[in-house]
């Protein structure tokens, strides 16, 4: 049975158990080396793993709004810019567009200039529809296969800090890679009957339901 987790601490404790360490008893603010190591690495490991594979539970669709040009104009080679959703980690594809007809850039968040940069889709499309990977913070929404990969990825990241062992880090990294590989096979089987192209009938149906028209 694949382990489940209700909180970030639960997920971190799975990684600690893989290293033979006692669990965090309260929160990441516990004054222990293992709690500090988990706190520092948790978000980075989560986001990197979300970007590593097209996880079904982290898939989202959107039609982003046009972005306002910053002072000095836009970087990039395409005509139009669109503000990506705040939870977007990675754009998987833009409907009806080839991989060489769009790019993701970083730009100032407002036209007056700002230190707060945001991710923007640069494209010649006038009304792009995107499929993207969301940042899923709530661990209760993670799939079992993702959690399996995550626990080993986090264990690999914190092993040098918690158990002073690069060998254990390498071992956990190998387990994580195997878990993600297994997940890719499972996801591939689930998508094989419906993902024929990036403009299949199921995607058009989702657009109708989501935006009210094809």
Residue 58, both tokens: 């982290």
Orientation angle between helical segments 144-162 and 33-52, nearest 10 degrees = 140
Band of pLDDT at residue 191, cut at 50, 70 and 90: low
> Closest Cα partner for 179 from 132, 155, 141, 144?
144
Q: Read off the pLDDT of residues 17-28 as tens digits, 9 standing for 90 and up.
A: 999 999 998 889
Residue 18, both tokens: 């893989």
Residue pair 158/120 in contact by the 8 Å Cβ criterion: no
**Residue-level pLDDT at 208:** 43
Please give the DSSP secondary-structure letter assigned to residue 22.
P
Residue pair 123/78 in contact by the 8 Å Cβ criterion: yes
Q: Please give the Cα distance from 96 to 191 (Å, whole number).
A: 19
Answer with the residue of higher pLDDT: 191 or 197: 191
- pLDDT (average), residues 108-134: 81
Phi-psi region of 158 (alpha: psi -120 to 50; beta: other; left: phi over 0): alpha
**Residue-level pLDDT at 95:** 93
**Residue-level pLDDT at 134:** 96
Q: What percent of the chain has pLDDT over 70?
A: 80
Count the residues in the chain.
Answer: 214
The contacts of residue 179 (CB under 8 Å, 6+ apart) are: 145, 148, 149, 152
Q: Read off the pLDDT of residues 65-82 as tens digits, 9 standing for 90 and up.
A: 998 777 677 777 888 999
Q: Is the pLDDT of residue 56 over 80?
A: yes
The contacts of residue 178 (CB under 8 Å, 6+ apart) are: none
């Amino acid at each position: 049975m694949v382990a489940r987790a209700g909180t970030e601490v639960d997920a971190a404790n799975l990684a600690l158990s893989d290293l033979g360490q006692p669990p965090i008893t309260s929160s990441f603010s516990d004054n222990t080396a293992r709690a500090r190591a988990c706190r520092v690495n948790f978000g980075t490991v989560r986001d990197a793993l979300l970007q590593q594979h097209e996880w079904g539970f982290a898939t989202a669709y959107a039609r982003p709004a046009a972005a306002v040009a910053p002072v000095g104009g836009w970087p990039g080679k395409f005509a139009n810019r669109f503000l990506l959703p705040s939870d977007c980690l990675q754009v998987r594809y833009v409907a009806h567009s080839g991989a060489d007809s769009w790019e993701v850039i970083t730009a100032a968040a407002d036209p007056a200039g700002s230190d707060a940069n945001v991710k923007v889709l640069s494209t010649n499309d006038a009304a792009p529809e995107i499929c993207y990977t969301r940042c899923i913070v709530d661990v209760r929404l993670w799939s079992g296969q993702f959690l399996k990969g995550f626990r080993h990825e986090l264990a690999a990241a914190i092993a040098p800090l918690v158990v002073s062992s690069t060998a254990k880090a390498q071992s956990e990294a190998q387990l994580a890679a195997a878990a993600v590989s297994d997940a890719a096979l499972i996801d591939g089987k689930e998508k094989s009957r419906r993902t024929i192209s990036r403009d299949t009938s199921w995607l058009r149906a989702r657009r109708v339901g989501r935006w009210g028209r094809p």
